[in-house]
Amino acid sequence: ILNVEQSPQSLHVQEGDSTNFTCSFPSSNFYALHWYRWETAKSPEALFVMTLNGDEKKKGRISATLNTKEGYSYLYIKGSQPEDSATYLCASTDKLIFGTGTRLQVFP
Amino acid sequence: DAGVIQSPRHEVTEMGQEVTLRCKPISGHNSLFWYRQTMMRGLELLIYFNNNVPIDDSGMPEDRFSAKMPNASFSTLKIQPSEPRDSAVYFCASSRGGAGELFFGEGSRLTVL
């Protein structure tokens, strides 16, 4: 993998559902992996910065894992709420290249 | 701290005109990034600076784009001459460097007619 890639591109879930998305990144010369939350009409805000293989981070109902050897990270949201609706971005490499994001919509 | 400050917030100009976007990073941050948001490519890195020095400008689309960081508290992104395809939201972000998280400005929305 030469670029940072995210899947799925978009996701529609019902309130209360748990969901997860994937970020794939170049595994060679790994530097750091960032997750950001981007709400419409706002600027991206950092959720997690991860640097160690096997790292797991948690903030409320949102958590993330990191596998630097195979070049992927998962973001999990437990019990999705309408206010979780946003685009979730990951960024990697020393230049902080962003993926195109996963757009999440949570319906009440 | 006031956060990353960008100006102008909105700019509408005519094709061929020079456009200058400005950014004031958070005090104490030594890395500064310029991104462009488009529908097709999402957040696209244009250039980043470390300690006021441009480290990688390979994302700058063409010679019409230039960026400077004359001191630790100010950076500009200039487009000359501007074209309609440059219309986008341009974000500036700063960090403490290393693997530090990015703090984004509110963006400058550019429309080139």
Strand partners, B34: B47, B92
Residues of B in contact with A97 (CB under 8 A): 45
Interchain pair A98, B45: CB under 8 A? yes
Interchain pair B91, A43: CB under 8 A? yes
Interchain pair A34, B91: CB under 8 A? no
Q: Given this model, what pLDDT does residue B39 score?
A: 82
Q: Which residue has the tokens 């700063």?
A: B94
Interchain pair A43, B35: CB under 8 A? no
Query: Nearest CA to CA, how far is B98 from chain A (Å)?
Result: 8
Asked if the peptide bond before residue B25 counts as cis, ω within 30 degrees of 0, the response is no
Residues in chain B, total? 113
Interchain pair B101, A97: CB under 8 A? no
CA distance A24 to A4: 6
Q: Given this model, what pLDDT does residue B62 score?
A: 83
Residues of chain A with pLDDT under 50: none
Q: What is the pLDDT of residues B11-70, one digit of tens each?
A: 999 999 999 999 999 999 999 999 999 888 889 999 999 999 999 998 898 899 999 999
Q: Given this model, what pLDDT does residue B97 score?
A: 80
Q: Given this model, what pLDDT does residue A78 score?
A: 97
A52 to chain B: closest CA residue: B99
Residues 50-79 of A with CB under 8 A from B: 51
Maximal CA-CA distance, chain B? 39
Q: Shortest CA distance to A6 belongs to which of A64, A59, A68, A74?
A: A74
Q: What is the pLDDT of residues A69-78, one digit of tens each?
A: 999 999 999 9
What mean pLDDT do residues B96-108 have? 91
Q: Given this model, what pLDDT does residue A88 score?
A: 97
